[in-house]
Structure 1
Amino acid sequence: MTVPSQVRVPAAVLQYKFEQILPHLDERRRRLYLASEAISLGHGGIALVADVSRTSTATISRGITELEAHAAPTHRIRAPGGGRKPLTATDTGLLPALEMLIEPHTRGDPVSPLRWTTLSLRSLAKALSEQGHPVGATTVRRLLHAMGYSLQGTAKTTEGARHQDRDAQFAHINATATTFLNGGQPVISVDTKAKEWIGNRDRPGRVWRPCKDPIKVDCHSHLFDDDQSAAIPYGIYDLATNTGWVNVGTDHDTAEFATESIRRWWHRHGRADHPDADRLLITADAGGSNNPRYWTWRKQLHTFAWESGLKITVCHFPPGTSKWNKIEHRMFCHITANWRGRPLTSYQVVLETIAATTTAAGLRIGAELDTGDYPLGTTVTAAVFHALPITPDAFHGDGNYTLAPDPPGLSTEPATRRPIDPAVTSLLSDPTLTGLARSEFAHLVAVSEPYWDALAEAAFQRRFHRPRSYLHPQTSSLDHFHRLLAALLHRRRAATSTLMAQMLSVTRTNLSNQFQDGHRILDLHGIAVTPIPGSPARTLQQLRARLASAEDTPTDQL
């Protein structure tokens, strides 16, 4: 029988024809009719007809064989209800047993290894057969499809904990960038690309090459020596000029390396592209070498600001949102596509591949090798950090701040203690916020100070595994009065940690280290604290409004 060429017929047309004709045909005529339709469709016709008519491909193939053999018609037709019954009818316990094996939460053993390590058709069929339900892998697949199951991978949709003002931070970054660009000031997006190992190693992706002539790379490329060379690309993307710069490091991805990359971009391109600039906006993620919590990052960035004379403003994206950083989808993605399927055998190949990256929108990228040493473990003392001319923004100053191109200030205070405005102390110790009269709180401070010193010493030894022979900034930047006051306000939910840290002139991390021992002090002296209703105040205005609204209402009692 001559098979016609493939004809494109919509599945909806076949569905309509089958619904009109098949109910009037017996078993044999159904089989022959579906076989003729499959033959008329050409290549792929059997699968299409079987899917639309919900008939086995074996049945349609059998009908094609009968048509090609020109078999004489027979009047022997199987009676309705005849033939072998489905397993679900003869073995009523088959489906419940299968559900017990695949149900992830409510049924079966929650730690069953079958569920996670051997959840395959053959393993399920074997497990069912051992339970007294003989079945094959093909039948298991059909039953799973009938129950609404299919093979699926994971989907990256769960973002985890959200930043409390994530959308507002995005709006703040956009408004700040727009202001800088409208004023003719440079705006750059920075980040570190994934480390790339140097050598004849396998890389994802494919490239056009002569047939049967792939690039030959080393086997077992996941094994490498401790001294294996690596490329650490730190990128800078200029939003105004649509240009990029990649500083390829060979040592470590540290804050000093990140700042040196920005410095090289400025001297190579930034200064020439923006000759009238006196300010610079940097947008970065909240992790890696440009982590806003790293004092070394801010210290190194201030050094660059002082050298260049630029007033540098930094805006960090909320945690978990670095994919929205411009450099990710305007520069790094094109670099990854450009060196797909080719081994990075040397630093020269890395540099040339990056420099050859272009786009239809006119993207140009420069690259340079940085063989400098950037050792790990560099620290900045509290005295040096607090002397830096850093101005936190009124909106989330921990992620938005400005560094002035001024020399560091000279602090006359001890390295571990900063003065606190008496007005701030009076405001925070208001009985409306603490729930204690001022005299009661003063008495609590006096009787708990010996206990606090013992707890702080024990906590330090647990954290650093050595006796405290000096005043560590994380445990000594506040006196006992303000440390206990902050812990009490934290338990009372009077204000956020960020707001209290700004008012007490410490970092949020520094303040958070005080809370654990502060709560122990309150529990030790039997102080049962009742939280203030509502959300904690995030700004000074909200805190004052809370005090004003409480003047005519009774204060919460402890």
Structure 2
Amino acid sequence: MLYFQSMYTPLGLKQKLHAVWPLLDERTRRVMAANEALSLGFGGISEVHRACGLSRKAIAKGIDEIQKGIVPPAGRIRRPGAGRKSLTESNPRLLEALEAMIDSQTRGDPESPLRWICKSTRTIAAQLARKKYPVSHAKVAQILNDLNYSLQSNRKTEEGADHPDRDEQFRHINAAVKKCLKQGVPVISVDTKKKELIGNYDNAGQQWLPTKQPRKVQGHDFPNPEVPRAYPYGIYDLGRNSGFVNVGTDHDTGAFAVASIRGWWRFEGRRLYPDANMILITADGGGSNGSRLRLWKLELQKFADQTGLCISVCHFPLGTSKWNKIEHRLFSFITSNWRGEPLRDYETIVNLIAKTTTAKGLKVTCRLDRRKYPTGRKVSDEEMENINVERNKFHGDWNYVIRPKAIVKS
């Protein structure tokens, strides 16, 4: 003869719940346990707690849901907003620490919203833990994915031959920028945006227009050499998230580059930084502000003499210009703002650049520079010897300070 254990003994209740427990989710477990507790009457919550291990608080919550007839939204176990808060919500500084740590390691095409980093998620998680932000490598991957980072070190564009001190120079620039920003020293990132053809030429991108009414423009595969060109030289203020663009109409030379910086200082810099006695400039290793360009250094000396400012310069190694902040904090937004818009005249370019804004509050000032900047200017050895330059012990060709020899009122 077989004897069955009553379902309302502790053993029977445990067997009953154990049979279906793996088939239930968080809410249905809570409701089933609450229903059993109600059927047992006084002491039922404790009996069910011992039988299934669910907390008394959870069982009491289930009883409340049954009595009030609470039904969750379709497809949900918890009500909206319930559950444990994410790490970035419970500890907002975690996100700041992560972004600050990988900022100097960021790689990738700056005009793409996708960015790359070189460190592994485990390395990042370990460094965050040392900074008192314990987090798993899986959570790091999730956060970086939300920030539009891809955990790869693929090269989207050709960088040329890597200099052995390239990464060390990145770290040097990052340290110099952070130090100056902390001290209130103006830090600007400079570069010339690619030259633009003036006229009814095709400009990459699309705009909303009436159906089947596209603008008719010229291709610029073989433009007339006489077609005027614009040379937008940008100055991006890292501390204030603002841009200043000087649109040249002649040539992109070292004299034009420094004239653009001088224009920024006269129109904005000296007003924003009245107590400044130094400027830190981060610039590419080539072009009109190249580390080897004599005219660039000669014009910087003139600028220093006119303003009484010490001009500190840090160059990015050749082939790494896309890591210059101006590329992805100013130029990429200018390109996006005028996509699909033919640059018919200089005024159109100036207006489009000046209207460039971002969700993070970027503001851009733009002016047109019609002065002549002839090419072929030779700087003699004697002129170079008269430049008051102090070279850094680490790569003095990339990192140097040009000090004023005399203060001349501008």
User: Is this contact kept in 1: 2:233–2:260, CA < 8 A?
Assistant: yes
User: Is this contact kept in 2: 1:215–1:342, CA < 8 A?
Assistant: no
- Pick closer, same or farther for the CA change 1:250–1:157 going to 2, 3 Å: closer
1:197 partnered with 2:174: no
Q: Which residue of 1 aligns with 2:354?
A: 355
Look up the equivalent residue of 2:311 and give its one-letter code: I
Q: Tell me by how many angstroms 1:212 deviates.
A: 1.3
Alignment of 1:79-90 (within 5 A): none
Query: What secondary structure is seen at the aligned counterpart in 1 of 2:311?
Result: strand
Q: Which residue of 2 aligns with 1:342?
A: 341
Q: Which residue of 1 aligns with 2:401?
A: 402
Measured in 2, the distance between the counterparts of 1:315 and 1:155 equals: 23
- Unaligned 5+ runs, structure 1: 1-153, 409-558
Measured in 1, the distance between the counterparts of 2:157 and 2:302 equals: 40
Q: Which residue of 1 aligns with 2:8?
A: none
Measured in 1, the distance between the counterparts of 2:317 and 2:182 equals: 25
Query: What secondary structure is seen at the aligned counterpart in 1 of 2:281?
Result: strand
Query: What secondary structure is seen at the aligned counterpart in 2 of 1:334?
Result: helix
- Pick closer, same or farther for the CA change 1:155–1:191 going to 2, 3 Å: closer
Measured in 2, the distance between the counterparts of 1:180 and 1:290 equals: 21
Alignment of 1:46-445 (within 5 A): 156=156, 159-218=159-218, 220-407=219-406
Query: What secondary structure is seen at the aligned counterpart in 2 of 1:305?
Result: helix
Measured in 2, the distance between the counterparts of 1:309 and 1:327 equals: 26
Please, what TM-score do these two structures have when normalized by structure 2?
A: 0.60
- Unaligned 5+ runs, structure 2: 1-153
Kindly name which structure, 1 or 2, has the bigger radius of gyration based on alpha carbons: 1
Measured in 1, the distance between the counterparts of 2:194 and 2:248 equals: 12
User: Is this contact kept in 1: 2:253–2:373, CA < 8 A?
Assistant: yes
Measured in 2, the distance between the counterparts of 1:155 and 1:185 equals: 33
Q: Which has the higher strand share?
A: 2
Q: Tell me by how many angstroms 1:276 deviates.
A: 1.1
Measured in 1, the distance between the counterparts of 2:294 and 2:344 equals: 36
Let me know the Cα RMSD of the aligned residues: 1.6
Measured in 1, the distance between the counterparts of 2:360 and 2:165 equals: 33
Please, what TM-score do these two structures have when normalized by structure 1?
A: 0.45
User: Is this contact kept in 1: 2:201–2:217, CA < 8 A?
Assistant: yes
Task: State the percentage of identical aligned residues.
Answer: 52
Alignment of 1:443-462 (within 5 A): none
Measured in 2, the distance between the counterparts of 1:306 and 1:364 equals: 29
Measured in 2, the distance between the counterparts of 1:383 and 1:158 equals: 38
Q: Which has the higher helix share?
A: 1
Measured in 1, the distance between the counterparts of 2:362 and 2:195 equals: 23
Aligned length: 254
Measured in 2, the distance between the counterparts of 1:158 and 1:179 equals: 31
User: Is this contact kept in 2: 1:243–1:365, CA < 8 A?
Assistant: yes
Measured in 2, the distance between the counterparts of 1:332 and 1:396 equals: 28
Q: Tell me by how many angstroms 1:179 deviates.
A: 1.2
- Pick closer, same or farther for the CA change 1:347–1:313 going to 2, 3 Å: same
Measured in 2, the distance between the counterparts of 1:173 and 1:360 equals: 27
Measured in 1, the distance between the counterparts of 2:362 and 2:351 equals: 15
Query: What secondary structure is seen at the aligned counterpart in 1 of 2:203?
Result: coil
Look up the equivalent residue of 2:335 and give its one-letter code: T
Measured in 1, the distance between the counterparts of 2:342 and 2:364 equals: 20
Alignment of 1:391-540 (within 5 A): 391-407=390-406
Q: Tell me by how many angstroms 1:164 deviates.
A: 1.5
- Pick closer, same or farther for the CA change 1:350–1:183 going to 2, 3 Å: same
Query: What secondary structure is seen at the aligned counterpart in 1 of 2:361?
Result: coil
Query: What secondary structure is seen at the aligned counterpart in 2 of 1:177?
Result: helix
Q: Tell me by how many angstroms 1:407 deviates.
A: 4.1
Measured in 2, the distance between the counterparts of 1:342 and 1:175 equals: 39
